[in-house]
């Protein structure tokens, strides 16, 4: 591989890992030494957001670069249309070999099945439903953070693999990359590793993680103190951070392994992206889970390590909707899109599951402001993120802010109309 050739590309997409939950982001509860080390060699996009803070909608947008429901996914159980053109198709057309490992959550699912358990984990994802990836190995869902079931290009029927899901998938990913480097030494590859962790059930075992004392956990000012909410927050955060610690370690092993494989094959180290499809409220404003327009739900980590590019911190309001176009630009196989000044956020439907957001909404987020309006178009939330990062003061009805709101609403409407 010559120095001018396109770089190998590794995307790591977790689930429910909010932007705040990294040691390098200042979270005193987070034990993330390996991702902190990756951040020290990366561009850290501190204002990155998911376009939709719920799994299937966000995954469809991430893969296609088209927001929900325009990409065909409006309801929680909608599959990604088979005719969809994804980042895998785009990069394959640019000469890349492509592979997917892990949680898919975009094929047809039976809403009568339990969301958690083996029945969902063993659902077959047909080859024509695998988003155009040349190699595919994963599972539809099931939230089995231990002993996952995998099927795909080499596994016609689901097979259970012993071990922690993040470790199993990281090892399978590293093995494929080593094989690919040997078999196709002159062809670049693109791999998407999709992990369920740190998604609930938070009480599941996270091997090798230290205990997190619920009573000693640091809580943000916007988490109500006292009563059932605080008790639940402390209990769930203890498990959440165990899974973060275990997954951090698995990803540290993966990065060191693929870098070593690149050196052994005489290839540059890959361009690595680490992110999450959405966050988790964890009691902020008394709310739980996702689907909400608050920072804990919509803001996600985004670390981009580009070999030869010095580390940096960016306050550009990047959306995961644009990650495919950005990656192609960073790889030099397509024009790099201009820097973003704002990002659209929305929930296209109400997901009828416990704790989730109770309404359809749309919004716009800049680096310093967030405006959210309801399905009828009326302002619901308006926050000055610069002065109020915890979103403790809703300014939507403040007379002094109405002109700001009107201008941002116009900007949001234009962004929605001209978006992909």
Q: What is the mean pLDDT of the chain?
A: 96
Q: Quick check: is 405 in a domain? A: yes
341, 375, 406 - which closes a domain: 341
d(CA 258, CA 363): 39
Residue 250 has pLDDT above 70, yes or no: yes
Mean pLDDT calculated for residue range 148-156: 97
Range of the domain at 311: 9-341
Residue 189 has pLDDT above 90, yes or no: yes
pTM (2 d.p.): 0.97
313, 341, 369 - which closes a domain: 341
Helices and strands (DSSP H and E) totals, the chain: 9, 14
Residue 2 has pLDDT above 90, yes or no: no
Domain CATH number, residue 332: 3.40.720.10
Rounded to the nearest 10°, the torsion over CA 13, 14, 18, 23 is -90
Mean pLDDT calculated for residue range 151-170: 98
- Would you state the pLDDT for residue 419? 59
Residue from 295, 254, 327, 290 nearest 86 by CA: 327
Phi, psi angles (nearest 5°) of residue 204: -65, 150
- Indicate whether 319 and 402 sit together in one domain: no
- Indicate whether 307 and 409 sit together in one domain: no
Q: Quick check: is 328 in a domain? A: yes
pLDDT tens track for 175-185: 999 999 999 99
- Indicate whether 369 and 255 sit together in one domain: no
pLDDT tens track for 18-36: 999 999 999 999 999 999 9
DSSP string, 144-167: --BS-EEEESS-SS-EE--SBHHH
Mean pLDDT calculated for residue range 378-385: 97
Q: What is the C-alpha radius of gyration for the chain, rounded to an integer number of angstroms?
A: 20
Size of the chain in residues:
420
Q: Quick check: is 88 in a domain? A: yes
Mean pLDDT calculated for residue range 306-321: 96
pLDDT tens track for 254-293: 999 999 999 999 999 999 999 999 999 999 999 999 999 9
- Indicate whether 251 and 211 sit together in one domain: yes
Q: Quick check: is 183 in a domain? A: yes
- Indicate whether 269 and 180 sit together in one domain: yes
Residue 153 has pLDDT above 60, yes or no: yes
- In this prediction, residue 104 has a pLDDT band, given cuts at 50, 70 and 90, of very high
- Would you state the pLDDT for residue 314? 97
């Amino acid at each position: 591989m010559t120095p001018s050739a396109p770089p190998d590309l590794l995307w790591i997409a977790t689930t429910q890992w909010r932007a705040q939950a990294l040691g390098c982001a200042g979270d005193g509860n987070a034990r993330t030494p390996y991702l902190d080390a990756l951040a020290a060699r990366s561009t850290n996009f501190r204002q990155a957001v998911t376009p939709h803070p719920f799994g299937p909608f966000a995954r469809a947008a991430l893969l296609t670069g088209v927001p929900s429901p325009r990409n065909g996914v409006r309801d929680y159980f909608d599959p990604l249309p088979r005719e969809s053109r994804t980042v895998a198709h785009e990069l394959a057309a640019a000469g890349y070999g492509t592979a997917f490992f892990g949680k898919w959550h975009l094929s047809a699912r039976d809403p009568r099945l339990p969301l958690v358990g083996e029945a969902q984990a063993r659902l077959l994802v047909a080859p024509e439903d695998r988003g155009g990836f040349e190699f595919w190995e994963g599972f539809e869902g099931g939230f089995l953070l231990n002993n996952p079931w995998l099927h795909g290009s080499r596994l016609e029927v689901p097979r259970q693999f012993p071990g922690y899901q993040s470790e199993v998938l990281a090892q399978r990913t590293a093995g494929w990359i080593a094989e690919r480097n040997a078999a196709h030494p002159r062809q670049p590859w693109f791999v998407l590793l999709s992990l369920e962790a740190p998604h609930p059930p938070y009480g599941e075992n996270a091997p090798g993680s230290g205990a997190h004392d619920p009573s000693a956990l640091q809580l943000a000012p916007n988490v109500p103190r006292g009563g059932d909410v605080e008790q639940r927050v402390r209990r769930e955060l203890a498990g959440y951070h165990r899974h973060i610690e275990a997954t951090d370690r698995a990803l540290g092993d993966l990065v060191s392994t693929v870098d070593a494989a690149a050196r052994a094959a005489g290839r540059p180290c890959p361009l690595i992206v680490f992110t999450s499809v959405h966050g988790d409220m964890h009691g902020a404003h008394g709310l739980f889970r996702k689907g909400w327009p608050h920072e804990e739900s919509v803001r996600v980590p985004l670390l981009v390590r580009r070999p030869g590019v010095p580390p940096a911190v960016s306050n550009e309001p990047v959306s995961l909707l644009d990650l495919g176009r950005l990656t192609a630009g960073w790889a030099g196989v397509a024009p790099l899109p201009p820097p973003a000044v704002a990002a659209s956020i929305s929930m296209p439907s109400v997901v009828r599951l416990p704790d989730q957001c109770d309404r359809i909404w749309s919004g716009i987020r800049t680096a310093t402001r967030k405006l959210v309006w309801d399905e009828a178009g009326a302002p619901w939330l308006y926050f000055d993120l610069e002065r109020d990062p915890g979103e403790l003061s809703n300014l939507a009805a403040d007379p002094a802010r109405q002109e700001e709101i009107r201008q941002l609403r116009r900007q949001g409407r234009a962004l929605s109309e001209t978006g992909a």
